[in-house]
């Protein structure tokens, strides 16, 4: 987490083209979280995160910025869509479930970290379990000679197991039967009731015998090894701490719960109700999760929306005030679309080249062909709905449709995509506006 704002922006530049303002604001917000943790506890509690509202058309990089950041920094992160939630009392997910989802994401993150740290112990536990099935232990009181022989046989068997020589061998092992787990949308009180009910009727926690190949047994015993080796209580405690202080909730489609000023029914229970329910969570409250109470005071909320039909001012004033930092993302011009195709680490063109390389086909795109793809995608965005970089998927698929279809028959060949090929493949669609609306 100890990255400077400049380093954060530099990392994002490898994956997201342009949008300097959005990158800068998010980089500062993340750095401020690191700065806050350096302060005294009394001052820490008073410094609230500055939540961010990102405004921009679909396909300009709103979600990608947040997604890449969470991966880079290893922070508890979840992306939710505001349109999935409804006011309490109506059918649908209640907004508190997003906090429970964050707690689960944080728990999995910490658990995976601890598993990696203790991987040697976990592997040793799994190996001991499997070898003891293949080579049952000696009875008590065995002679020293027998014990020495057993130790040699055990070592040989262990080496064969580690080398993968025994992977296809079948053994019978005991695995713990997983009880039906409550989903994150189930309130904690009901989840506890469900767990109690499972214990009473005795369907949870039992060991059942299964016969499987050793390579599958290694995976099946992973969960049991984690439970035995890891201190799960400390994992839960650390998960809650991280979710509270480092957690990020990205709320997409926030404009879908805004009620436009021209709307005949301002008191829409599904929309305004969601906004009212969001207020206490964004402002700071305690949410009961299966790992304990989670305070939302210092969770960073990033909301994003296109706001084509509604405006940010159509959100209820109290919620507007909870998102003090606002940034408008630029629409993508022809040059930006060209850069998206060529500059990112895993750009679209690199993905298509890699996919066809599995068929032993070498695919190349001329620079002029790439510019033509960007020009056509930009023109389609201007004439129809602006869907940003997502238009590139449609255009490229149309261009290489036949190449991709026949790739398995052209093994060993080199195929060059030229400007002429792009024009030929898209000529009819570009000229016919009605056809373009359906195909592009």
Q: In this predicted model, what pLDDT tens digit does every residue of 79-106 receive, in sequence order? A: 888 888 765 555 456 788 899 999 999 9
Q: Alpha-carbon distance 303 to 251, whole Å?
A: 5
**Structural tokens at position 425:** 């493949």
pLDDT at 411: 87
Q: What is the pLDDT of residue 180?
A: 47
Average pLDDT (141-159) is 83
Q: Which position has the token pair 């994150």?
A: 184
- In this structure, the strands spanning 286-289 and 292-295 are antiparallel
Say if CB 326 and CB 55 are below 8 A apart.
Answer: yes
pLDDT band for 132, please (50, 70, 90 cuts): confident
pLDDT over 70 (residue 406): yes
- Could you list the beta-strand ranges (E) of 185-246: 207-213
* Residue 17 near residue 61 (C-beta atoms within 8 A): yes
Mean pLDDT of the chain: 83
The two structure tokens encoding residue 356: 């066809």
In our burial notation (b when 16+ CB lie closer than 10 A, e otherwise), range 294-304 reads bbbebbbbbbb
> Quick one: average pLDDT of 228-251?
91
Q: Which residue is listed with tokens 């279809």?
A: 405
Question: Which tens digits make up the pLDDT trace of 27-57?
Answer: 898 888 889 889 988 898 888 888 999 998 8
19/275 Cα distance (integer angstroms)? 28
pTM of the model: 0.79
Cα three-residue angle 287-290-293, rounded to 5 degrees: 35
Of the listed ranges 6-15, 72-81, 172-181, the least confidently predicted one is 172-181
Pairing of strands 248-252, 77-81: parallel
Rounded to whole angstroms, how far apart are CA atoms 240 and 139?
46
On whether the CB atoms of residues 230 and 115 are closer than 8 A, the answer is yes
Strands 300-305 and 248-252: parallel
Q: Which residue has the tokens 């997604």?
A: 67
The DSSP secondary-structure symbol of 183 reads: P
Could you list the beta-strand ranges (E) of 16-120: 52-55, 77-81
pLDDT attached to residue 187: 57
């Amino acid at each position: 987490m100890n990255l400077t704002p400049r380093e954060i922006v530099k990392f994002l530049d490898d994956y997201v083209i342009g949008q300097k303002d959005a990158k800068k604001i998010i980089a500062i917000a993340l750095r401020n979280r690191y700065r806050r943790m350096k302060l005294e506890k009394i001052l820490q509690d008073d410094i609230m995160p500055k939540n961010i509202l990102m405004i921009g058309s679909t396909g300009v990089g709103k979600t990608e910025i947040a997604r890449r950041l969470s991966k880079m920094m290893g922070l508890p992160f979840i992306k939710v869509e505001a349109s999935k939630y409804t006011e309490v009392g109506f059918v649908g997910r209640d907004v508190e479930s997003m906090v429970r989802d964050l707690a689960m994401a944080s728990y999995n993150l910490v658990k995976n970290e601890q598993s990696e740290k203790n991987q040697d112990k976990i592997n040793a536990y799994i190996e001991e379990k499997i070898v003891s099935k293949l080579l049952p232990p000696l009875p008590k009181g065995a002679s020293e000679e027998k014990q020495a022989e057993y130790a040699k046989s055990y070592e040989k068997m262990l080496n064969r197991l580690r080398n993968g020589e025994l992977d296809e061998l079948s053994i019978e092992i005991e695995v713990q039967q997983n009880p039906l787990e409550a989903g994150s949308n189930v309130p904690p009180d009901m989840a506890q009731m469900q767990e109690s009910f499972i214990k009473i009727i005795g369907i949870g926690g039992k060991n059942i015998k299964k016969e499987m190949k050793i390579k599958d047994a290694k995976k099946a015993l992973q969960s049991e090894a984690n439970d035995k080796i890891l201190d799960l209580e400390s994992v839960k405690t650390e998960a809650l701490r991280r979710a509270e202080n480092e957690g990020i909730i990205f709320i997409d489609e926030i404009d879908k719960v805004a009620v436009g000023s021209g709307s005949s029914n301002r008191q829409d229970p599904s929309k305004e109700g969601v906004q009212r329910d969001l207020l206490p969570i964004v402002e700071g409250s305690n949410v009961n999760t299966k790992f304990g109470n989670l305070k939302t005071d210092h969770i960073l909320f990033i909301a994003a929306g296109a706001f084509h039909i509604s405006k940010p001012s159509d959100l209820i004033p109290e919620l507007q005030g909870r998102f003090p930092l606002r940034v408008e993302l630029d629409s993508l011009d022809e040059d930006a679309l060209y850069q998206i195709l060529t500059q990112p680490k895993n750009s679209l063109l690199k993905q298509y080249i890699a996919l066809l390389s599995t068929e032993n086909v070498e695919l190349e795109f001329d620079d002029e062909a790439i510019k033509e793809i960007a020009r056509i995608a930009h023109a389609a965005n201007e004439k129809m709905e602006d869907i940003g970089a997502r238009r590139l998927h449609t255009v490229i698929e149309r261009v290489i449709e036949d190449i991709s279809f026949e790739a398995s028959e052209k093994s060993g060949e080199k195929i060059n995509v030229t400007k002429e090929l792009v024009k030929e493949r898209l000529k009819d669609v570009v000229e016919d506006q009605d056809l373009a609306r359906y195909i592009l």
